[in-house]
Amino acid sequence: MKALSALSTEVRQYLLVTGNYWAFTLTDGALRMLVVLHFHTQGYTPLQIAALFLFYEIFGVITNLVGGYLGARLGLNRTMNIGLALQVVALLMLAVPAAWLTIPWVMCTQAMSGIAKDLNKMSAKSSIKLLVSDNQQGTLYKWVAILTGSKNALKGVGFFLGGALLALMGFTGAVLAMATVLALIWIASLFLLKKDLGKAKAKPKFRDILSKNRAINIISAARLFLFGARDVWFVVALPVYLSTVFGWDFWLVGGFLAVWVIGYGIVQSFAPNITGNKRGHVPDGRAAFIWAALLAGLPAAIALSLWAGWSPQIVLLGGLLVFGALFAVNSSLHSYLILSYAKEDGVSLDVGFYYMSNAIGRLLGTVLSGWVYQNSGLEACLWVSTAFVLLAALISIALPRHAR
């Protein structure tokens, strides 16, 4: 406690925000794996499983758009705590008798979870902008990378946790256990998080939710296709493929995806060193284009290798590792650039607009993941992913660059 009290207010708030984000992310990753694996065993088709997450992504779009406005009006502490509370309610709604777990009911719980997730993420990411001064761009990049990377590493742990809890406790026991732990964290957050964090000095009008900043609009469009490229094969197609084609059980599917996302998060944390921040090179739009271009050929290479009859275990698992590393750098770059471009007063408006685009990309990717896989298989999902990454790279050409 003495060590904590010796830290600056900004660092203590950063640690609180990060801790909240970590706790939420664990339950979010576990819940995603629980739903995919549980309803797959109930005989749901890939498209039906994708439909379960439809409201999760749709309400994520709406939440990011409106949540940025709420964060600027009410404060980021309130939007973060509302997100934690909603996730507890969503988990409890899944602890009903099995006969109640119809598609509409589960879609409604996922809608609430989607609102909760994006309120929590928008609040956490926006808070960092307010805790680092504008003349410390290297520090901003480093703090964003640590928050984003650690979040995704814990999301990977959540995937494993979801598979393990399903095997050990069953679906109902798993969601009740997670709801209990998260409720305790929410109560602590109500007392510890700074009350006026993120309130805009000038009260924003509702029309301000749409960004007028050209750089914000460009990076948001690139983000849409970047995350659509990941989710079009990762959300539904890959777990179902590993379960049906490779014959993997809950532990293997959850464990492998957990390791992948943990590695992805670790690379994200070190992205500033990879892209030159250690040498004093803060990235700009040129870096976003280069790293997206490097990523673009990889899904196509995996698809061609599968089509040629190469060992799917070696091609898919090896390709996933490389894809995860390159995607991690792209994601970390984007997370820094949006905060760099955003204005400090009412930062959540710009960040909310940006993550609205992220949510649209995830929505598009999730729907296509189930539909394309069910009709054409994993290779087709990989070709769609290739097209999306190429679009993200082309859009990134228009991003601002440092003056020489």
Q: What is the pLDDT of residue 323?
A: 92
Q: What is the pLDDT of residue 404?
A: 44
3-state secondary structure the chain: CHHHHHCCHHHHHHHHHHHHHHHHHHHHHHHHHHHHHHHHHCCCCHHHHHHHCHHHHHHHHHHHHHHHHHHHHHCHHHHHHHHHHHHHHHHHHCCCCHHHCCHHHHHHHHHHHHHHHHHHHHHHHHHHHHHCCCCCHHHHHHHHHHHHHHHHHHHHHHHHHHHHHHHHHHHHHHHHHHHHHHHHHHHHHHHHCCCCCCCCCCCCCHHHHCCCCHHHHHHHHHHHHHHHHHHHHHCCHHHHHHHHCCCCCHHHHHHHHHHHHHHHHHHHHCHHHHCCHHHCCCCCHHHHHHHHHHHHHHHHHHHHHHHCCCCHHHHHHHHHHHHHHHHHHHHHHHHHHHHHHCCCCCHHHHHHHHHHHHHHHHHHHHHHHHHHHHHHCHHHHHHHHHHHHHHHHHHHCCCCCCCC
- 11 closest CA partner among 188, 120, 118, 142: 142
Over residues 269-276, mean pLDDT: 81
**Does residue 265 carry a pLDDT above 90?**
no
Mean pLDDT of the chain: 82
Over residues 57-62, mean pLDDT: 80
Over residues 237-258, mean pLDDT: 81
Give me 229's structure tokens. 């490229």
**Does residue 196 carry a pLDDT above 70?**
no
Across 11-25, 34-48, 109-123, 250-264, the highest mean pLDDT is recorded for: 109-123
Over residues 163-179, mean pLDDT: 88
Range of lowest pLDDT (20-29, 235-244, 252-261): 252-261
Q: What share of the chain in percent tops pLDDT 70? A: 86
Q: What are the sequence ranges of the domains in the chain?
A: 7-396
Cα–Cα distance for residue pair 143/395, rounded to 1 Å: 26
Range of lowest pLDDT (35-39, 152-156, 198-202, 300-304): 198-202
Specify the higher pLDDT residue, 91 or 346: 91
**Does residue 13 carry a pLDDT above 80?**
no
**Does residue 133 carry a pLDDT above 90?**
no
**Does residue 382 carry a pLDDT above 90?**
yes
**Does residue 384 carry a pLDDT above 90?**
yes
Range of lowest pLDDT (59-63, 64-68, 69-73, 129-133): 129-133
54-74 vs 103-131: helix crossing angle, rounded to 10: 40
Specify the higher pLDDT residue, 272 or 64: 272
Q: What is the pLDDT of residue 309?
A: 86
Q: What is the pLDDT of residue 327?
A: 92
Range of lowest pLDDT (6-20, 139-153, 230-244, 356-370): 6-20
Specify the higher pLDDT residue, 290 or 6: 290
> 7-396 in CATH: which number?
1.20.1250.20
Over residues 154-163, mean pLDDT: 80
Assign 62 a pLDDT band (cuts: 50, 70, 90).
confident
Question: Are residues 219 and 337 in contact, defined by beta-carbon separation less than 8 angstroms?
Answer: yes
